[in-house]
Amino acid sequence: MKKRQAASKAELQIARIVWDLGSATVRQVFERVDASRDLDFKTVQTYLRRLEAKGYLRTRQEGRSKVYSPKVRPGQVIRETVDDFLQRLFDGATLPLVQHLIHERDISPEEIQELREMLDRWEAEHQPEEQD
């Protein structure tokens, strides 16, 4: 399968709107764009066309309007984006990213506890079964 071209930050913001709505026309997406973004209708339309061309969205014609809907799930896009990020910055290694986040970000005690619990659950699920 051909690798999907990465979406820009602005394109992903538009894609999130379509994901939230399930399907939408350009007008519906435009009406949901944060007013502080100062995007005009044509720019939103351009982003939607790019997302379709890159394989993130599909379209169908309803009367005179194009209706955009997700072609891929948000989780798949997140996975691909994080994998690309890890590959480019950390040669695909996960631990350096986690170390960076722990050392460079303010992690609350609650988040540390949640991390511990997550690691404990992961370990429990991935323990080799003992044989009698």
Residue in the block written with tokens 């997140």: 78
Q: What is the mean pLDDT of residues 59-68?
A: 95
Q: Which two tokens stand for residue 63?
A: 């009367």
Q: How far apart are CA 130 and CA 61, in angstroms?
A: 57
Q: Residue 18 contacts by C-beta under 8 Å, 6 or more apart in sequence? A: 24, 29, 48, 51, 57, 68, 69, 70
Q: How far apart are CA 12 and CA 18, in angstroms?
A: 10
Using one digit for the tens of pLDDT, what is the confidence trace for 79-123?
988 998 899 999 999 999 988 988 898 888 899 899 999 999 999
The pLDDT, as a whole number, for residue 1 is: 54
For residue 87, the Cα-to-chain-centroid distance in whole angstroms is 16
DSSP 35: G
The pLDDT, as a whole number, for residue 123 is: 93
pTM of this prediction? 0.75
Given a cut of 80, whether residue 2 has pLDDT beyond it is: no
User: What residue spans of 1-132 are helical by DSSP H?
Assistant: 9-21, 26-32, 41-53, 74-90, 95-104, 109-125
Phi, psi of 56 (to 5 degrees): -85, -30
CB 96 within 8 A of CB 86: no
